[in-house]
Chains A and B, each alone.
Chain A
């Protein structure tokens, strides 16, 4: 039961289709086939191989609008840096308060107007389905930078690129997910894409904060290999990568429970002595206490490099959707 315009990821198989990204909207990773995702990864590499100066000619004269009805400095800066590194220009707003939206302008009118000024739009909006709605009004490609708690495809694609660059492959990787897996939108989208690429998934979450039923049934339907347990425990030694998510105090039943369980969900240097030497630690950032700063200096700390790869993936998306890179 997916949107009618979606490509069924299972029908594409090995055959390499021609990729038509020019003019396309990026709303949901479920719209992208595995081959299309790998194509975006290839474009990331190609742009990086061009070197900074040459990359800065790709989007010369083009304008990216970053429309953020909801503040998210990290995502917005990543999009804007991506466009500047492609030699383009950026305009936009970073919260609804400062925009015409506070004067009651509809999403439709904002998008119709902005698509006259800009060549491509990156947006974040608190309502679910807002990016899909915007794509119907827009004359230019719309990239979803988060529609409420619903979808956040550029984060997922950046994480995929991170794993490929750091681990060299996806298939057969054993990947752990630690923390609050019930409310973590990042994890929900990411694991469903990873399952399509044959990654083994191991979930470690406090009781009551497990992956939601719809994600579990989706993974089962895809034939994914996955396990669920509380705390990191023994499986830590098997993992190739560990994706840590923010643990929020208010999600726990009580302060006491939080304090009691917190330590099973914190990764520090001591934790990593029980893991593979080259285990890759990732985090969507910003973090709370769940990754101790004493991990930062280790080569395993992939979370800052992850932000770089995320920006590089946004460069790939902007340039393919604009059609300046095939």
Chain B
């Protein structure tokens, strides 16, 4: 496997991202990535996924809610927390069947779009083809990632 990106000393390494989804993962961050060194390689050969994306972000930490958001976009994702050049811990977030307050419903007619204090609720399950089915429990709109 050819690595197109450099080692980092402190930060996070996001690996096993379904190819092409890396850009969507990066979009989850708003201001955190300003003035930050990011390495992003996409469509790398992967023995388990066929093709995958890898992202390395220096001097960044992520909370459990962000881990869940990333897992909903890329269910196979692994996150390594790097400290002083070593892997401090490596996690693979599990997607629970009920996801509350993590993602927003994309249906513009959904009440959760209007009532900002309403906690979003999604029923989440894998389809036979491996896609992640997400159903808003308010409008019952279904979408996939």
Q: Which residues of A contact B (CB under 8 A)?
A: 1, 3-4, 106-108, 125-130, 132-133, 136, 147-150
- Set of chain A residues within 8 Å of B110, measured between Cβ atoms: 127-129
Select B111's contact among A1, A107, A149, beta carbons within 8 Å. Answer: A107
* A166 nearest CB across to chain B (Å): 31
A153 to chain B, nearest CB (A): 14
Query: Quick one: which of B118, B125, B139 contacts A1, CB cutoff 8 A?
Result: B125
> Which listed residue (A1, A106, A130, A150) contacts B123, Cβ 8 A?
A1
- Bound together, the chains give a CA A148 to CA B112 distance in angstroms of 13
Q: How far, in Å, is A324 (CB) from chain B's closest CB? A: 30
Chain A nearest CB: distance from B102 CB in Å? Answer: 16
Task: Say yes or no: A129-B117 contact (C-beta < 8 A), given A1-B125, A1-B135, A148-B109.
Answer: no
- A150 cross-chain contacts in B, Cβ below 8 A: 139-140
Q: Is B48 an interface residue (CB 8 A)?
A: no
In the bound assembly, the distance between CA atoms of A107 and B113 in angstroms comes to 12
B residues in contact with A107, CB < 8 Å? 111, 114-115
Most chain A C-beta atoms within 10 Å of own C-beta, residue among B112, B113, B136, B138: B138
> What is the minimal beta-carbon distance from B131 to any residue of chain A, in angstroms?
14
CB distance from B63 to the nearest CB of A (A): 26
The residues of A that contact B111 with a CB separation of less than 8 Å are 107, 125, 127-130, 132-133, 147
A-B contact pairs, 28 of them (CB 8 A): A1-B133, A1-B135, A3-B137, A106-B115, A106-B117, A107-B115, A108-B115, A108-B117, A108-B118, A127-B109, A127-B110, A127-B111, A127-B113, A127-B114, A127-B139, A128-B107, A128-B110, A128-B111, A128-B140, A128-B141, A129-B111, A129-B136, A129-B139, A129-B140, A130-B111, A133-B118, A136-B118, A147-B111
Chain B positions 122 through 145: 1 when the CB is less than 8 Å from some CB of chain A, otherwise 0? 010100000001011111111000
Q: Say how far A169's CB is from chain B's closest CB, in angstroms.
A: 31
B109's closest neighbor in chain A, by CB? Answer: A128
Type the 1/0 row for B42-81, where 1 means its CB is closer than 8 Å to any CB of A. 0000000000000000000000000000000000000000
State whether the Cβ of B87 lies closer than 8 Å to any Cβ in chain A: no
Does B98 interact with chain A (Cβ within 8 Å)?
A: yes
CB neighbours of B136 from chain A (8 A): 129
Q: Are A133 and B107 in contact (CB under 8 A)?
A: no
| Contact code string B31-44 (vs A, CB < 8 Å = 1, else 0) | 00000000000000
Binding site for A on B (CB under 8 A): 98, 107, 109-118, 123, 125, 133, 135-142
- Minimal Cβ-Cβ distance residue in B for A107: B115
Known: A106-B115, A128-B141, A129-B137. 8 other contacts (CB 8 A): A1-B133, A108-B115, A125-B111, A126-B109, A127-B109, A127-B113, A128-B138, A136-B118
Q: How far is the CA of A126 from the CA of B111 in the complex (A)?
A: 9
Q: Please, which residues of chain A bring their CB within 8 A of the CB of B123?
A: 1, 4
CB B119 to nearest CB in A, in angstroms, measures 9
Neighbouring B residues of A108 by C-beta, 8 Å? 115, 117-118
- Closest Cβ of chain B to A4, distance in Å, is 7
With a cutoff of 8 Å between Cβ atoms, the chain B residues found around residue A1 in the complex are 123, 125, 133, 135, 142
Bound-state CA distance A227–B110 (Å) is: 32
B contact residues around A130 at 8 Å (CB): 111
Q: Which residue of B lies closest to A130 (CB)?
A: B111
Q: Shortest beta-carbon distance, B124 to chain A, in Å? A: 10
A107 to B138, CA, bound (A): 14
CB-CB under 8 A from A132, the residues of chain B are 111, 137-138
Contact B98 A4 (CB under 8 A): yes
Nearest CB of B to A313, in Å: 23
- Known contacts: A1-B123, A1-B125, A4-B98. The answer to whether A128 contacts B115 by CB under 8 A is no
Residue of B with least CB distance to A128: B139
Which B residues are in CB contact (< 8 Å) with A136? 118
What's the minimum C-beta distance from B98 to chain A, rounded to whole angstroms? Answer: 7
Q: What residues of A have a CB within 8 angstroms of the CB of B113 in the complex?
A: 127
